[in-house]
Structure 1
Amino acid sequence: MTDLERIRLAMLGGAGVGKSSIIKRFLFKTYTDKYRATVEDLFSREYDLGGVTLKVDILDTSGDMELSAMRRLSIATAHAFMLVYASTSASSFQCVKQCFQEIREQRADYQNIPIVIAGNKSDLANTHREVRLEEVTDWVYCELPRLRAKVLECSAKEDQNVTDLFKTLLSLSRFLPVGSNNDGTSGLKRRSSAYVSASSSRNKNRNASPSVSGGKKSSLVEAVDPATSCGDAKLKPRSRSLIRRVSRKTKQQIHNASDDCNLQ
């Protein structure tokens, strides 16, 4: 029997900065310009790391800064954070600062929590930039020293640095070695994956979304970026019984904030 390691990543930031686009580009290699406000969605992936199973939950939160109760629950249950702003919006960077302030107030262990600050929409930065990368790095490394944090700019639309965001988070979480060259020697193997919409879980008759499963051994890049191991294959639905079990489990995790959420 393998041991289970779990990490829950909470995506925080203002509305319209591209949190959902980053997730969908990373997991499914898809992108759309159409905007749909997120209430709360949960994506899950499982990987084999030798005798250890790593389960990664990605919680996509609402960009509505008025929904403070939901954001507090997300902060309480997360092991790592990705704070997303748009490099084309100065106000979105202020939202990131507000999110971090809430993390610092709510989590006594905030200095030990892996945090990636992601500046999305870098493809528009040449003509519409409002937030300089130096401004963000100065804030993180000068005003907020001693954090386990990294700053990266990315573009979900152009698929620039999206995979690096998640690789950096796993490295900060010490699941991946810093400076890994992803040469395929890690022996990582993706076990299964599932997608659960937390917002729809509030309905009694909610349906689980399709999920992807993979059985072949994958390189480190494929393990960090699941879409590379499934190519253009269509998503296949899992069995109904397994979907129900995963749905019930993730629903309980979202609505029951746990104190046992520190990184091991």
Structure 2
Amino acid sequence: MVATFKIAVLGAQGVGKSAIVRQFLYNEFSEVCVPTTARRVYLPAVVMNGHVHDLQIMDFPPITAFPVNTLQEWADVCCRGLRSVHAYILVYDICCFDSFEYIKTIRQQILETRVIGTSETPIIIVGNKRDLQRGRVIPRWNVSNLVKKTWKCGYIECSAKYNWHILLLFSELLKSVGCARCKHVHTTIRFQGALRRNRCTIIISQLLRKRGQQRATFPRAQEGVGGGPRRAQAGDPGQGGPGSRGPEQPGAQRQLRATRALPLLAPLVRRVTARPMPLRSC
């Protein structure tokens, strides 16, 4: 059974909520700022640790207050499904102090209204527009210290314009949601601990290793003009004669196989690092 994770993206107007979502899903960014006036729901599917997960990413417009009960939640069209999500992404602009105050208020309202299961629901604070570092209004150390130690939430900074830390944000958020059953570990510890691992590097190394094993198990015979195996000549590497470099070492052979596999893995690596892999139902 495929698990479905519901994620709510909240923030003030103009902080880049929709830009983060569209960069994650479609690997695109628009310089034109279009305000979000209605709730937008995206239903992608991702693969993490060999398991398929269905996501329901809900991009909410700026709300005046978090709904205090289910009746108020479903009475307002813009707030439907806001209280039943598995994780919250609160986005603010690092160059706008008012946007940080907005998510501060929303977080406090979430803690006051969602009493049941609040401690197990990850709340991630995201500072967007990292590319405008010179216009920062609050030092990063102060925000990080406040969010991690006082608020007990995860914190990460990203840039939707340059696709920086976008994939990392959602991948580590999924890991934090997937570990929600570990009730003895706080959400902040789970999220910050997951940030220390780089799973993309592990994926690439495993693919290179598998490719090298396949080449070692099923070597291709070098064919000559007549279609048969080509005979070794005097100038070939590993043979005697002029231009001979001696027999290749096993380490050099593995490095050569990995180098040959890089062009074949380049499109897959770009898809892993840029966007989630699309899935097709059988």
TM-score bucket of the superposed structures, by smaller chain: 0.5 to 0.7
1:25 corresponds in structure 2 to: 23
Q: Percent identity?
A: 25
CA deviations 1:106-164 (Å, max 9, x no partner) are: 212222112221100111121x111222222222223223xxx3211111112111111
Q: CA deviation at 1:52?
A: 5.6
CA deviations 1:186-245 (Å, max 9, x no partner) are: 9xxxxxxxxxxxxxxxxxxxxxxxxxxxxxxx9798568545x47xxxxxxx9xxxxxxx
State whether residues 111 and 118 of structure 2, in contact with CA within 8 Å, keep that contact through their aligned partners in structure 1: yes
Structure 2 Cα separation of the partners of residues 35 and 94 of structure 1: 21
* SS of equivalent residue, structure 2 residue 178: coil
Match for 1:129: what amino acid? Answer: R
Report whether the alignment pairs 1:76 with 2:83: yes
Show structure 2 runs of 5+ residues with no match. Answer: 68-72, 180-190, 208-266
Indicate which of 158, 181, 185 corresponds to 2:199.
Answer: 181
Match for 1:19: what amino acid? Answer: K
Structure 1 Cα separation of the partners of residues 48 and 156 of structure 2: 26
Show structure 1 runs of 5+ residues with no match. Answer: 187-217, 231-237, 239-264
Structure 2 Cα separation of the partners of residues 56 and 141 of structure 1: 26
Which structure features the higher share of strand residues? 1
2:53 corresponds in structure 1 to: 54
The structure with the larger Rg is: 2
1:5 corresponds in structure 2 to: 3
State whether residues 47 and 223 of structure 1, in contact with CA within 8 Å, keep that contact through their aligned partners in structure 2: no
Match for 1:161: what amino acid? Answer: H
State whether residues 13 and 63 of structure 1, in contact with CA within 8 Å, keep that contact through their aligned partners in structure 2: yes
* SS of equivalent residue, structure 2 residue 56: strand
Structure 1 Cα separation of the partners of residues 84 and 28 of structure 2: 28
Report whether the alignment pairs 1:114 with 2:122: yes
CA 1:124–1:6 in structure 2 vs 1: closer, same or farther (change >3 Å)?
A: same
Relative to the length of structure 2, the TM-score reads 0.60
How many equivalent residue pairs?
193
After TM superposition, the structure 1 = structure 2 runs for residues 68-217 of structure 1, keeping only pairs within 5 Å, are 69=73, 70=76, 73-108=80-115, 109-126=117-134, 128-145=135-152, 149-174=153-178, 178=194, 179-182=197-200, 183-184=202-203
Match for 1:41: what amino acid? Answer: R
CA 1:223–1:76 in structure 2 vs 1: closer, same or farther (change >3 Å)?
A: farther
Deviates more, 1:105-114 or 1:15-24: 105-114
Relative to the length of structure 1, the TM-score reads 0.63
CA 1:106–1:75 in structure 2 vs 1: closer, same or farther (change >3 Å)?
A: farther
**Structure with higher RCO (Cα < 8 A, 6+ apart):** 1
Q: CA deviation at 1:34?
A: 1.1
